[in-house]
Each structure stands twice: as structure tokens, then as C-alpha cells.
Amino acid sequence: MTEHDDDFAALFEASLQTKRFTRGQTIEGTIVAIGAEVAFVNVGGKGEATISLDELKDDEGDVEVSVGDRIKAVVVSTTNGLVLSRRMALGAANAGQLEDAFRAGLAVEGKVEKATKGGLEVRIARQRAFCPMSQIDTMRTEDATVHEGRVYSFRIIEYRDGGEKFVVSRRAVLEEEQKTKSVEVRKSIIVGAVLTGRVVSVRDFGAFVDLGSGLLHVSEMAWARVSKAEDVVKPGDEVTVKVIRVDEANGQIALGLKQLSADPWTTIQDTYSIGQVLQGRITRVTDFGAFVELEAGIEALAHMSTFAPTGRAGGWSKAIAPGQAGAFEILSIDPEKKRIGVAIIEEGSAKGSTTSDAAGTPAAGPVAASRSGIVVGARLAGKIDRHETFGVFVFLAPGKTGLMPLSETGVEKGADIKKAFPVGSEIDVIVLEADPQGRRIRVSHKAIETAAEAAEVREYKERADVALSGSFGGSLADKLRGALSTRTK
């Protein structure tokens, strides 16, 4: 047999294989080779078919099959060899092929013509199909008109009476693609990997991203506190995230967005210092204090003990509210625990104090104390914080409370201290004792009264001395004048 005869025999056998199939028939085959434009599919025996490479690519344009993979497709042509299609190109399918595609679960291409009540009208192979609104995408669509004029791949979910009942779903195709992509993506999902995905849905606690069903928790979206996940991302958004945890056993993947930017707490020691006064904004108020945002990602706590007592339970919280801005003094910094303690500085308060002179008389009236102004001899204005059997505690400054022993109250023994000094009432005191750290502070109200009495006595004596010297000086002058007058004569 000549070489020409061999070629003729091969062509004849191939034509016989082709005749085994008909247009619209669903068949399965194995990818045996992938060319520049088409892939070759072994459909049994010596039969071989081709399928356009475009039908084997994902949304990013990458071929999603390999040699050896099995695929299911529909025969669209038997002329000059078998030609297969997985999507049945727009307008290329007839009613019989559409029914075959429905039974085989193959995707078909269709064009969205217009939005209707409850869904969209889709034109597929010269037939009119209906796509319910819930089936046009994997996420909720508010405005259906955005899909008008678009060409999509659909899965036929209902086909009866020659197309009289023709319902399709794009969502089914997308979910299958996501599932396939999820398997591939999972291979690259390792802790520390930085990946780009699409937000599928947003919940109160975070957002799901199509990276192996990864969860971007609301606490991982930004260094600053995020109240609502929807304020940061929305369904359909493309986000670049970092894989922070993978739980293979439960199939859970934790993603982070804030990890792609610098943590502001790493430079906290270079930015803040104790005693520094900064502008801040109250973000939330709790039973134990108020949280204050000093900058994006940096929240401090103004503990309830740093607020002046009011005499009412929780009264300190009535004067503040979330969103309120003001000046705050830094009281403590703990970089390791990421904690900063602050105290609000009331408007009109003085950052300083006055001290008494050598005679014990204050040089000026009492002022609101600052932490640095609490020194021995200082006269301060405070507020009654609480009562104990041994004395009264006086709030002097945020985080600084002094003890006024019963003997320094100036109240007679046996008197009702609580009635004399109600909680929250203002009181003037003089600092009797204060260690450098300000942990032990002793104050006295009696000292003010004693100093005032001493001042009155001293003032009285000074007036008396002046009056006496004035009287004595006058009589002496008269005598001198008389003596001089006598000598002149």
C-alpha cells in the first residue's frame, strides 16, 4: 500500500468517526493537545474533535484545562471534522441544541435585552428566555438596567414546551467558576500571601472575599476602629488582602487589609510622651471610662477615675458623648499592651497652681490643679471624691487624689462630715505632703482657715502699729517744734 493510500484510509476512517455524531449531541472527551487557537479532544476510538481555546479560558484569559482533563461539550459542526462547544456561542444553537444543553448542564451565551418586573429578558439563539433577578449575579443587584446590552454565559435551569418555558441563570455559571477558581486559589493561599480578590458579600461582622471563601473581619479592615464593614468595602469591590490565618480542618481562611499598611503603634514612643496635651475625639463611652481617638488607629482610655466627681452614680459620663472633641493630657503609655491613659482637660482649667508665702498666706486664690502643680504649700481647688472613717478624699487632678484627715477638715469632732463635705462639692485645700510620684498626697482645709485667721491677726497688728506710730510721731513733732521756736526767740 502506498503512502497516498494510507492517507486516504485515514481520512476515510475519520469521516466514519464523524458520522457517528450529530449536531447538538452532547459528548465527553479527553484533552489530548492544546494548540495556539484550539484544543484537540479525543472522543473515543480514533475520533478526534477540536474546541476553540477561548471556550477553555477563565475570566483572566488563562487556559483552565490541561492535557488529560475530561470535558463535556456539544457538537456544533460535523463538516470537515468534529467541532465542539461548551458555551454554544450566541445565536449558534437551535431549539433542539438548547434542550440538549439544558439536559447536559452546559452553559449558553445570551444577550440581556431589557429589565422586566422581577428579572431580565435574555435573547438566546433567537429565543426569549427569562433570568430572575436573584439569578443574574452572585451578589444582590439594586439596579437591573446595568446588565442591559451585556452578553453573558447562562445555565439553562428550566426548558419546556420547545422553549415556551425558558428560564436561565448566570449565577449558576459564576458559582461554578468561583468554585473552580477557589480550588486553584487555595493552592496559593498560605499565611503571609498577598492576594487580590473580589468582595462577594458584606455582613455586620466583615466581608467574604472570593479567595477560597476567605473572611475579612471588620477588626482587620483598618488600624482605626471600623463600626460598619460597609463603610470600608462593598460587594463587587476588588481588594488586595493578606492571608493572616488558614484553618485547613474547618476550611476557614482569615484575611487582613490593615496588615498592608504600617501599624501606628510601632512609632508610639517617638510620637507621644507623658504630660503631653493633644487634641482628641471621644469614640465611645463605657461603664469604666471613655475611649479617645488621638489619631487614626490610636485609641486611648480616659478612665472614669480621671473625671471629677459629681456626687451622682455615673455622673461623670453625663457631660461627655461620642464625637465630642477636646484637649487630653497623656497620663500613661504602655507600648507593649498598646495602651495609653489620658485625662480630659476641662475648658478654663489652669495648668498650674499657686504656693503660699513664708508666712503661710497663699499668694493668690485657689486654682484647678495640674498634675505638676501638686507641691507642698500649693493652694488648690478640688472636689470631694469620697468619705472614709479616717478622712475625706479630695479629687485634685486627673489621676491625683489627696487625703484630707479628719483632723485637717476644720470640722468639730463628732460633726457630720458627709453633710459638711458632700461628694462632688468644691473645696479649697493646701497641700501638706506630696511625694515626687504623687502617690501620697495629704491636704488640709483647716490650714486655709488657720492661715486666714493668722492673716487677719497680722493685718490687725499692722494697722494698730501704724496708728500708734502715727500718734507718737505727732506728739514728738509738736515738742520739737516748740523747742525750736523757743531757741529762735
Residues 315 and 441 in one domain: no
Number of neighbours of residue 195 by Cβ within 10 angstroms = 19
- The yes-or-no verdict on residue 94 having pLDDT over 70 is no
Q: Regarding predicted confidence, which is higher, 348 or 378?
A: 378
Q: Report d(CA 63, CA 78) in Å as an integer.
A: 25
* Strand-strand pairing, 238-247 and 252-256: antiparallel
Number of neighbours of residue 93 by Cβ within 10 angstroms = 26
Q: Which of 86, 120, 135 is the last residue of a domain?
A: 86
Is the distance from CB of 444 to CB of 380 less than 8 angstroms? no
- Lowest-confidence region among 153-167, 333-347, 362-376: 362-376
Residues 430 and 321 in one domain: no
- On whether residue 155 sits in a domain, the answer given is no
Residue 41's beta-bridge partner residues? Answer: 31, 49
- The yes-or-no verdict on residue 351 having pLDDT over 70 is no
- On whether residue 241 sits in a domain, the answer given is yes
- On whether residue 236 sits in a domain, the answer given is yes
- On whether residue 465 sits in a domain, the answer given is yes
Share of the chain above pLDDT 70, in %: 78
Q: Which of 344, 376, 407 is the last residue of a domain?
A: 344
Output the pLDDT for position 243. 92
Residues 331 and 227 in one domain: no
Mean pLDDT of the chain: 79
- Count of the separate structural domains present in the chain: 4
Residue 382's beta-bridge partner residues? Answer: 427
- On whether residue 215 sits in a domain, the answer given is yes
Residues 365 and 340 in one domain: no
Is the distance from CB of 336 to CB of 378 less than 8 angstroms? no
Mean pLDDT of 256-281: 88
Residues 400 and 482 in one domain: yes
pLDDT in tens, 10-19: 444 444 455 5
Is the distance from CB of 117 to CB of 162 less than 8 angstroms? no
Mean pLDDT of 224-238: 87
Residues 331 and 462 in one domain: no
Residues 204 and 324 in one domain: no
Mean pLDDT of 53-62: 78
pLDDT in tens, 381-423: 888 888 888 888 988 887 788 898 988 888 888 888 888 888 8
pTM for the predicted model, two decimal places: 0.46
Residues 358 and 454 in one domain: yes
Q: Which of 323, 344, 365 is the last residue of a domain?
A: 344
Binning pLDDT at 50, 70 and 90, where does residue 370 land?
low
Q: How far is CA 212 from CA 209, 232, 473, in A?
A: 8, 21, 106
Output the pLDDT for position 344. 85
pLDDT in tens, 295-341: 888 999 988 888 877 777 777 888 888 888 988 988 889 988 889 99
Residues 484 and 388 in one domain: yes
Number of neighbours of residue 334 by Cβ within 10 angstroms = 10
- On whether residue 8 sits in a domain, the answer given is yes
Residues 334 and 361 in one domain: no
- The yes-or-no verdict on residue 135 having pLDDT over 90 is yes
Q: Report d(CA 450, CA 220) in Å as an integer.
A: 61
Q: Which of 207, 194, 199 is nearest to 242 (CA)?
A: 194
Domain range for 396: 348-489
Residues 352 and 340 in one domain: no
CATH number at residue 27: 2.40.50.140
Query: What nine digits make up the cell of 214?
Result: 476567605
Q: How far is CA 459 from CA 41, 360, 364, 453, in A?
A: 116, 14, 17, 10
Residues 295 and 420 in one domain: no
Q: Report d(CA 486, CA 489) in Å as an integer.
A: 5
DSSP per residue over 318-335, as a string?
GG--TT-EEEEEEEEEET
Residue 120's beta-bridge partner residues? Answer: 115, 131
Q: Report d(CA 380, CA 17) in Å as an integer.
A: 106
Question: Which residue in this structure is represented by grid cell 496559593?
Answer: 188
- Amino acid 383 reads K
Helices (H), 204-310: 268-271
Q: H-helix or E-strand containing 362?
A: none
- On whether residue 116 sits in a domain, the answer given is no
- On whether residue 451 sits in a domain, the answer given is yes
